[in-house]
Amino acid sequence: MSTDSPSNSPFALNADEIARLDAIRAGLLDPSPRLIGSLDQWGLADTYESYAEIASYRELSIAMDDGTELDVSLSVPRNLAPGQTCPVVVLPAPLNKYGHRAYLGMFPRWALGGYVVLAYSQRGLAASGGEIQVAGPQDVADATTLINWLTSQEGVDSERIGFFGASYGAGTSLLAAAKDRRIKAVAGTSAWGDLFASLYENGTRHLKAFEELVKLFGEEKCSKEFRNVIEKIRNNIIDDEVREFAEVRSPKNYLAEYNDFATPILMATAWHETIFSVPAVVDFFTDLTVPKSLLVQIGDHGNSELPGLAGLFSKPTEMAYRWMDYYLGGHAGDGREPRFGVRSEYMHNLLSDLRNPDWESYVLPPRRFHLAEAAGERDGQLTDGQPQSGWSRSLKATGRDAGVYVAPKLIQTGLAERAGLPHVYRTAELDRDLAAVWTTAPFTQSMRLQGTAEVRVAVKPRAMDATIVAYLLDCDPATGKAQIITHAPYTVTNAEAGQATTVTFPLQPAHYVLAAGRRLQLVIGTHDPFFSDANSAPTTLDITAPEGAGAYLDVPLGSVD
């Protein structure tokens, strides 16, 4: 999460959070009674007084191989016996103007656990020199240089080094572990598995999230290579240079290294993650053969771990403490062993906690609903039984959404979901000129949707390219109110105008419980402000049922025990 201004940034911390972070840093640099005592307004004075008794804190610059200096903070346990060494955790910064200081809330736990802690800002972030490389090869080389520096320090056990990172720091941690086998464990929250899939899903650019990230980076700080990629993505030039840029920075391409090194990997993501591709994280997790754990929670990018980074409780950071303790021999966690496999919450119950040994056993078998009786502007039905054909539904594409979208606000909508306040849509008010709607009969019992839904339709554009966006909603027929479960865009390219193209594509994975009496509702629209739009505006496109299998929605659905 970022602390950047302007205050309307979806990543921004509020004034109190910034003041707390600044006060913690001042108290760490000068643990005098006055400065430590100032933390009492947040209930933190005792915590950091205890920290100052057991560990020393300092900030410094460390020169990389090319002379670039990185901004670093270092915590070392006090009063070590001669020859005594400690496990080490390295924390590459998330993407924010405070850089490594975003982790200051975690320092007391790591110190109490007996760890040496080195947190740092990657090139171009905060006070570090150089240009932003986006977890590129230079950033990975810097991680190795920092490990080299660490292993020359007293009290450091070179055989017990782990990396923990949030968001940008998670990517750096994973990619560093693919190149340096001295990294014995990795934990990454709001991680990515495939950077290209995060930028470009089903032929559709994730423009809103991309532009917000570019704002945070600051284009003037970016490398020439990255600036060139930024312009190409903006101009929809998805060529070999863009693909190579993303591929080099994608952990999925280093599976052989992780599996060969046997590096234990813990990752956390969110059901409504709008920055990095959740399917790519799942695929990466599934293909790993190392000790591994995946946590999926309610909300959006960075929502779940933010309290933990501030020193409070969060599942991702508590799991990270356990993970490092288990593999590095510290005692920052609660003493219990880590949980392997898949751990998840279901929307929108923060108290839910389901566990499965792997993704395959986690996913429920698909149940097929056919899209039927959609003609004119009438809503259609999602039905069991035989495929339906012979219908066609025309949609206008005007560059305007129909009243349903991925989220009203990047990041902030996910935070509201974590508070049990998902955004409510009134589906009767959706513009049927711009979207088609299909609905199931009410379910007679509570149902659990667990896994990845899939949509198959035929798209007949009036031009060569066309974009559609599918949304799956939970609809209450008594009130007409609905909440989003999952979504995905799809862009048909180089189609023959007036000819139908059959498309089959997955929606984002989801874990959702439908109450008895509720309906599933599939909405297909032509525009969402989160994504690029290939439709010529204004234009018209038709949604039809392909011959043979027809149009369908497959949903991983089962009854609630």
Q: Is the domain of 108 the same as that of 152?
A: yes
**How far apart (Å, rounded) are the C-alpha atoms in residues 463 and 486?**
28
With beta carbons less than 8 A apart as the criterion, state whether 233 and 147 touch. Answer: no
Residue 234, domain member (yes or no): no
CA–CA distances in Å: residue 198 to residues 193, 209, 275, 280, 384: 9, 9, 7, 8, 33
Q: Is the domain of 307 the same as that of 430?
A: no
Q: Which of 361, 386, 408 is at the close of a domain? A: 361
With beta carbons less than 8 A apart as the criterion, state whether 219 and 230 touch. Answer: yes
Beta-strand pair 204-205/454-461: unpaired
Residues 6+ apart with CB under 8 A from 364: 448, 449, 450, 451, 556, 557, 558
pLDDT in tens, the chain (561 residues): 333 333 456 777 889 999 999 999 999 999 999 999 999 999 999 999 999 999 999 999 999 999 999 999 999 999 999 999 999 999 999 998 899 999 999 999 999 999 999 999 999 999 999 999 999 999 999 999 999 999 999 999 999 999 999 999 999 999 999 999 999 999 999 999 999 999 999 999 999 999 999 998 999 999 999 999 999 999 999 999 999 999 999 999 999 999 999 999 999 999 999 999 999 999 999 999 999 999 999 999 999 999 999 999 999 999 999 999 999 999 999 999 999 999 999 999 999 999 999 999 999 999 999 999 766 668 999 999 889 888 889 999 999 999 999 999 999 999 999 999 999 999 999 999 999 999 999 999 999 999 999 999 999 998 888 999 999 999 999 999 999 999 999 999 877 888 899 999 999 999 999 999 999 999 999 999 999 999 987 899 999 998 777 899 999 999 997
Residue that the structure tokens 């800002």 belong to: 121
Q: Which two tokens stand for residue 247?
A: 């591929």
**What is the model's pLDDT at position 497?**
82
Residue 51, domain member (yes or no): no
Residue 163, domain member (yes or no): yes
With beta carbons less than 8 A apart as the criterion, state whether 373 and 387 touch. Answer: no
Q: Which of 334, 361, 388 is at the close of a domain? A: 361
| Number of domains, the chain | 2
Question: What is the value of pTM for the model shown?
Answer: 0.95
**How far apart (Å, rounded) are the C-alpha atoms in residues 341 and 343?**
7
**How far apart (Å, rounded) are the C-alpha atoms in residues 489 and 275?**
14
**What is the model's pLDDT at position 3?**
34
Q: Is the domain of 288 the same as that of 368?
A: no
Q: Which of 310, 338, 361 is at the close of a domain? A: 361
Region at 135 (left for phi over 0; alpha for psi -120 to 50; beta for the rest):
left
DSSP label at 307?
Answer: H
Half-sphere exposure of 196 (CA within 13 A, CB side): 17
Say how many C-beta atoms besides its own lie within 10 A of residue 502's C-beta: 16
DSSP label at 221?
Answer: G
Q: Which one, of 61, 75, 233, 210, lies nearest residue 130 by Cα? A: 61
Residue 14, domain member (yes or no): no
Beta-strand pair 454-461/510-514: unpaired
Show the domain range for 462.
363-559
Residue 235, domain member (yes or no): no
Residue 230, domain member (yes or no): no
Q: Which two tokens stand for residue 355?
A: 């566990």
**What is the model's pLDDT at position 2?**
37
Residue 40 sits at the vertex; the CA angle it makes with 39 and 43, to the nearest 5 degrees, is 100
**What is the model's pLDDT at position 546?**
84
Residues 6+ apart with CB under 8 A from 427: 404, 437, 473, 475, 480, 481, 482, 521, 523
**What is the model's pLDDT at position 491?**
96
**What is the model's pLDDT at position 8?**
57
Q: Is the domain of 399 the same as that of 469?
A: yes
Residue that the structure tokens 């980074």 belong to: 309
Q: Is the domain of 67 the same as that of 122?
A: yes
Residue 487, domain member (yes or no): yes
Identify the helix (H) or strand (E) that includes residue 525: strand 519-525
Q: Is the domain of 402 the same as that of 435?
A: yes
Q: Is the domain of 341 the same as that of 476?
A: no
Ranges of H-type helices in 134-289:
137-150, 168-177, 195-199, 207-217, 224-234, 240-248, 255-261, 278-287
CATH number, residue 495: 2.60.120.260
With beta carbons less than 8 A apart as the criterion, state whether 556 and 472 touch. Answer: no
Q: Which two tokens stand for residue 525?
A: 């629209």
Residue 423, domain member (yes or no): yes
Helix 45-54 to helix 15-29 angle (10° resolution) is 30
CATH number, residue 78: 3.40.50.1820
Q: Is the domain of 453 the same as that of 312?
A: no
Q: Is the domain of 459 the same as that of 533?
A: yes
Q: Is the domain of 147 the same as that of 161?
A: yes
Dihedral sign for Cα 232, 526, 196, 124, please: positive
- DSSP codes, 29-73: HS--HHHHHGGGGGT-HHHHHHHHHHEEEEEEEEE-TTSPEEEEE
Q: Is the domain of 283 the same as that of 400?
A: no
Q: Is the domain of 313 the same as that of 412?
A: no
